[in-house]
Amino acid sequence: MKFNKAIVAMILAIVMIMGLASAAMAEDALKIGVIGPFTGAAAIYGSACKFGAQVAAEQINAQGGLQIELLNEDDEHDPEKSINAFNNVLDNGAQMIAGTTTTSPCIAVGAEAYEERVFMLTPSASSPDVTANKDNVYQVCFTDPAQGTASAQYIKEHNLATKIAIIYNNADAYSTGIYQTFIEEAAAIGLEVVPEAVTTFTDETTDFSVQVSAAKDAGADLVFLPIYYTPASMILQTAKTMDYAPVFFGVDGMDGILTMEGFDASLAEGVFMLTPFSADAEDEATKAFVARYQEITGEIPNQFAADAYDAVYALYTASVNAGIDGSTSYQDACEKLIEQFQTLEITGLTGTMTWDSTGAVSKTPTAVVIENGQYVGFND
Amino acid sequence: MVSFLRFLINGISLGSVYAIIALGYTMVYGIAKMLNFAHGDVIMVGAYIAFCAISYLSLPPVLAVLCAMAVCTALGVIIEGLAYRPLRQSASLAVLITAIGVSYFLQNTALLIWSSNPKIFPSAFSFGTIKLFDGNLVISSETILTIIANIVIMIALTLFTGRTKMGKAMRAVSEDKGAAELMGINVNRTISLTFAIGSALAAIAGVLLCSAYPTLQPTTGSMPGIKAFTAAVFGGIGSIPGAMIGGLLLGVIEILGKAYISTELGDALVFAVLIVVLLFKPAGLLGKPVREKV
């Protein structure tokens, strides 16, 4: 019995020392709230953000200097729960938010954060509504419509097409928004979009033969698909039946096509996808990130993980530049960070980023291409 | 010219899928005098059963179809017995609303079992393609199979309702339930049988629909179901050849409208044609106008 007591006493002592140590550390550390769906239907996005942010924090803390403490809260992709999570992290001393992961919670939390004056940098909520009319909410990812502009620039820069066809969903704001910015940018930079080959469908469409025929008959060598992967898979199938093999170029909605049950990956061979991050890039930062991420989760990081990693680095760099430390109040931090983000330029895993005063990011578009059922970086 | 032929073939391909679904609608309407709005969802269930049988149990395609037919037949009879039979004496609106309820029930159950992630239906029925005009005109085996299935089913149904005892009982029930009962026909059993046949047809339709358009989701059956219902009304609801002609015409109009007028107006055009046809022929193309005795 005595022996047991001794052990208990020792354990208690250790715990207390550790508690003191972490308390001492936490006092100086910069506290960043990370909010996203770690459970539920959208859990793959939220968990990716959580672990991506964790890798960034580990790297920063290993360098010494200003330390980071991440405060994770689950919102289950529910706006109401997300607001609770936001209040929780504030109560626990968060000075800024790297989040939230998904769009509708982010719009809800953004409104609260605007009232409370807490700086928010979302890794991945991509709707323009996330930042609209809020001077303290910023994005790491492109907004949905900005993907159209970025795609056009990428196609022009890499000479992927002479004649372009577009098939988009005119019953969907995401798809129509990207389509509109794409044709505007295409006209501005001199890409030829064939008017007869611009066709539409709706969520109820089962037959895509007319749309694919129009592209084929117009002689288009690239078909731009600003749509989700389910209709895209039907379009690829139809094109194959018609022996039509142009370059297909999709945006982030295309992500997931390879995970469809029963999907024949050979249909997607050579499909381009606009994405800020490819896990097989050869630079040191990406390699280190991918290696550590795989160690933690056993999975290859997706773009959400990379966006969250960049979000933490951007917040950290801006905080250091502005002289924010663990003792700055969130209101002060907010005003200082807003000022910093007007001039901040940071190179992360998803490119070199700058921000405008609306909170939208600007960075070089990059794309991956599908080869043998894998995403690989495209080099021409 | 080649492109016109290509659109025509695609239209026939889409139309033959509508036609086979419309046969189920028209059969149930003709005999039970009710619109079974859950028909599209029975199609979806049939497709999922066939998908599971082929992908998970590695059954040969023909066996998978039989399996789907068996499950759908049972499902059809159960739906009829639990949801529609208790309402046989109620207003037709009550039955209609129940049918919509059953439709949502099936969709959400499928969502629970198979999740919303789309599955790609295995191409078990593709035996290659026929290519004409230097590959500009492609006819797939699925199209040919669907058209053949349509003709066979149409002939079989016509013979069944015209020549067999059960078929005659069905027609009798369709004309006058009360009189049929007085003549010794078991009305409930006859209507159950109608649902069994209609649901077995739905399973075949589901497999053919997903062979031609392979994305399978819990909502897969709903829009083709509505289009097929339109086709059945277009051809004259209750008329078996009418469903076939209505389905084919609808598919061709939809594809040609999208191709030559506008992809945005394709669906609007389909329903505009329906309205015009019904204005001039209220019973549909092949429907017989029924005089109500007052």
Say how far apart CA A317 and CA A56 lie, in whole Å. 12
Whole-number Cα distances in Å, A261 to A21, A61, A130, A373, B129: 49, 41, 32, 13, 25
Say how far apart CA B32 and CA A367 lie, in whole Å. 57
Q: Which pLDDT score, from 0 to 100, does residue A26 have? A: 46
**Residue A137 pairs with which residues in a beta bridge?**
A120
pLDDT band with cut points at 50, 70 and 90 for residue A21? very low
- DSSP-derived secondary structure for A165-186: EEEEETT-HHHHHHHHHHHHHH
Summarize pLDDT for A65-92 with one digit per residue, the tens.
899 999 999 998 888 999 999 999 999 9
Say how far apart CA B27 and CA B36 lie, in whole Å. 10
| B51 contacts on A by Cβ (under 8 Å) | 262
Say how far apart CA B251 and CA B19 lie, in whole Å. 9
Q: Which pLDDT score, from 0 to 100, does residue A179 have? A: 92
Q: Which pLDDT score, from 0 to 100, does residue A18 have? A: 53
The average confidence (pLDDT) of chain A is 87
- B53 and B210 Cβ atoms separated by less than 8 Å: no
Cβ distance B138 to A241 less than 8 Å, yes or no, reads yes
DSSP B88: T
pLDDT band with cut points at 50, 70 and 90 for residue A23? very low
- Closest CB from B14, B118, B121 relative to A230: B118
CA nearest neighbour of A126 among A111, A147, A112: A147
Structure tokens at A180: 């509109």
Crossing angle between the packed helical segments B2-32 and B222-235, to the nearest 10 degrees? 80
Q: Which pLDDT score, from 0 to 100, does residue A10 have? A: 61
Q: Is A243 on the interface with B (CB under 8 A)?
A: yes
Burial label, A1 (beta-carbon count in 10 A; 0-12, 13-18, 19+): exposed
- Closest CB from A210, A231, A233 relative to B263: A210
Crossing angle between the packed helical segments A229-241 and A209-217, to the nearest 10 degrees? 60
Q: Which pLDDT score, from 0 to 100, does residue A22 have? A: 47
Q: Which pLDDT score, from 0 to 100, does residue A16 have? A: 54
Please determine, for residue A41, whether its predicted confidence score (pLDDT) is greater than 90: no
Query: CA of A204 to nearest chain B CA: how many angstroms apart?
Result: 6
- DSSP-derived secondary structure for B223-248: HHHHHHHHHHHHH-TT-HHHHHHHHH
Q: Is A317 on the interface with B (CB under 8 A)?
A: no
Tell me, what's the ipTM?
0.79
Q: Is A263 on the interface with B (CB under 8 A)?
A: yes
In which residue are the tokens 């502009």 written?
A149
Say how far apart CA B32 and CA B99 lie, in whole Å. 13
Structure tokens at B88: 């046989």
Residue A199: phi and psi, rounded to 5, are: -130, 165
- Closest CB from A200, A243, A261 relative to B263: A200
Residue A361: phi and psi, rounded to 5, are: -90, 155
Say how far apart CA A86 and CA A234 lie, in whole Å. 41
Burial label, A196 (beta-carbon count in 10 A; 0-12, 13-18, 19+): exposed
Cβ distance B140 to A241 less than 8 Å, yes or no, reads yes
Q: How many residues are present in chain B?
A: 294
Question: What proportion of chain A, given as a percentage, has pLDDT over 90?
Answer: 44
Summarize pLDDT for A149-205 with one digit per residue, the tens.
989 988 998 888 889 999 998 888 888 889 999 999 999 998 899 988 899 988 778
Question: What proportion of chain A, given as a percentage, has pLDDT over 70?
Answer: 92
CA angle B26, B32, B34 (to 5 degrees): 70
Outline where chain B has alpha helix (H). 2-32, 39-55, 61-79, 92-114, 141-163, 165-175, 177-182, 187-212, 222-235, 240-260, 266-280
Structure tokens at B134: 């230097």
3-state secondary structure at position A255: coil
Cβ distance B129 to A214 less than 8 Å, yes or no, reads no
Query: CA of A288 to nearest chain B CA: how many angstroms apart?
Result: 33
Summarize pLDDT for A252-298 with one digit per residue, the tens.
888 778 877 788 888 888 899 888 888 877 788 999 999 999 999 88
Q: Which pLDDT score, from 0 to 100, does residue A24 have? A: 44
Q: Does domain A9-142+283-362 have CATH number 3.40.50.10490?
A: no
Comma-separated ranges of CATH 3.40.50.2300 domains in chain A: 9-142+283-362, 146-275
Q: What CATH fold (topology level) applies to the domain A146-275?
A: Rossmann fold (3.40.50)
Cβ distance B263 to A234 less than 8 Å, yes or no, reads no
For β-strands A374-377 and A367-371, DSSP reports them as: antiparallel
The secondary structure element, H or E, covering residue A224 is strand A222-225
CA nearest neighbour of A293 among A276, A313, A308, A275: A308
- DSSP-derived secondary structure for A301-330: --HHHHHHHHHHHHHHHHHHHHT--TTS-H
| Residue A18: partners with Cβ closer than 8 Å, 6 or more residues away | none
Sheet containing A247-250: which strands, arranged edge to edge?
A193-201, A164-169, A222-225, A247-250, A272-274, A367-371, A374-377
Instruction: Give the count of beta carbons closer than 10 Å to the beta carbon of residue B279.
Output: 8
Summarize pLDDT for B16-65 with one digit per residue, the tens.
889 989 988 888 888 877 888 899 999 999 999 999 999 888 888 889 99
Q: Report chain A's terminal Cα–Cα distance, integer Å.
A: 73
Say how far apart CA A322 and CA A317 lie, in whole Å. 9
Q: Which pLDDT score, from 0 to 100, does residue A215 have? A: 92
pLDDT digit of tens for each residue in chain B (294 aa)? 777 888 888 888 889 889 989 988 888 888 877 888 899 999 999 999 999 999 888 888 889 999 999 999 999 999 999 998 888 888 888 888 999 999 999 988 998 888 777 888 887 777 777 777 776 677 888 888 888 888 898 899 889 888 898 888 888 888 888 888 888 888 888 889 989 999 999 999 999 889 888 888 888 888 888 888 888 888 888 788 888 899 999 999 989 988 888 888 878 888 888 888 888 888 888 877 666 555
Q: Which pLDDT score, from 0 to 100, does residue A50 have? A: 94
Q: Which pLDDT score, from 0 to 100, does residue B135 have? A: 66
| A230 contacts on B by Cβ (under 8 Å) | 118, 215, 217
Residue A70: phi and psi, rounded to 5, are: -95, 135
CA nearest neighbour of A265 among A242, A240, A228: A240
Residue A171: phi and psi, rounded to 5, are: -105, 10
A interface mutation test: which of B2, B3, B4, B10 has the most A CBs within 10 A?
A: B10
User: Which domains are present in chain B?
Assistant: 2-280 (1.10.3470)
| Residue A20: partners with Cβ closer than 8 Å, 6 or more residues away | none
Q: Which pLDDT score, from 0 to 100, does residue A288 have? A: 93
Q: Which pLDDT score, from 0 to 100, does residue A4 have? A: 63
Say how far apart CA B18 and CA A207 lie, in whole Å. 12
Size of interface A-B (CB pairs under 8 A): 75
Q: Which pLDDT score, from 0 to 100, does residue A310 have? A: 95
- Closest CB from A204, A231, A243 relative to B223: A204
Summarize pLDDT for A84-119 with one digit per residue, the tens.
999 999 999 999 999 899 888 999 999 999 999 999
Measured in whole angstroms, the distance separating CA A351 from the mean position of its chain's CA atoms is: 12
Say how far apart CA B183 and CA A30 lie, in whole Å. 88
The shares of helix, strand and coil residues in chain A, as percent rounded to the nearest 5, are 50, 20, 30
| A233 contacts on B by Cβ (under 8 Å) | 118, 120, 215
